[in-house]
Structure 1
Amino acid sequence: MKSIEDIMAMAQNVQSELSKAQATLDTIEVEGVSGGGLVKVRASAKGRIIGVDIDESLLQPSEKGMVEDLVAAALNDARAKADAASSTEMGKLTSGLPLPPGFKLPF
């Protein structure tokens, strides 16, 4: 059985690694796309929106509703990709830890 000092040291190490992983997530970029590439959204794996690119052909008043839908779809696509990248990165961190099944970090 490990001593309380060993457990505390392990917890501090996990916290340090978690902080590093969170910082790394903000440097990983994903791109959400909709409308066959007419609307693109770049985001970090942490979920921060970095940029939006809308093809000029969509910039007409009659296309307003479609552009709004495409932007929403591209944002959702970027968010899904950011979540996947985040899960992959966090999985690397927790792979060596003796955590029960289904346990997720951060708490």
Structure 2
Amino acid sequence: MKDLLGMMSKAKEMQAKFQALQEEIANIDATGQAGGGLVQVTLSGKFEMRALKVDPSLFKEDDVEILEDLILAAHNDAKAKVEAVMQEKTKELTAGLPIPPGMKLPF
């Protein structure tokens, strides 16, 4: 019974740590870029787009498709950066826990 109470206590502690981690990640901003910095997208830790910067040289009628592609690429770059920070912070939090590889946290 004592072990069960200890496990429950550890689970509550881990839950609190995950909640704090989620709040910390939500406050992260990551900026992705494409076209050598001609297009920049900033995302929050919740993948909400916070900013978009487009170099004025891209505003030509013929370059609309290129601009669209660069915006998508910059968004994806920023998203990858947010995911990398999330993975790193989760890894730090779960260090030493016997969690199977590939298991995504928080649940």
TM-score if structure 1 supplies the norm length? 0.89
SS at 2:52's partner residue? strand
Percent identity, aligned pairs only?
Answer: 36
Is the 1:33–1:40 contact (alpha carbons within 8 Å) kept by the matching residues of 2? yes
User: What is the CA deviation profile of residues 7-52 of structure 1, one whole-angstrom value per residue up to 9, with x for unaligned ones?
Assistant: 1111111110000000000122211000010000111233222111
Partner of 2:54: 54
Partner of 2:31: 31
Distance 2:55 2:22 in 1: 33
* Structure 1 unmatched runs, 5+: none
The two structures, once aligned, show a CA RMSD in angstroms of 1.6
Report how many aligned residue pairs link the two structures. Answer: 106
* Structure 2 unmatched runs, 5+: none
Distance 2:82 2:66 in 1: 24
SS at 2:36's partner residue? helix
User: What is the CA deviation profile of residues 45-69 of structure 1, one whole-angstrom value per residue up to 9, with x for unaligned ones?
Assistant: 3322211111111122221100000
Is the 1:33–1:78 contact (alpha carbons within 8 Å) kept by the matching residues of 2? yes
Runs of 4+ in 1 over 3 A off after TM superposition: none
- Shift of residue 2, structure 1, vs aligned partner: 5.6
TM-score if structure 2 supplies the norm length? 0.89
Partner of 1:64: 64
Partner of 1:100: 99
Is the 1:46–1:86 contact (alpha carbons within 8 Å) kept by the matching residues of 2? no
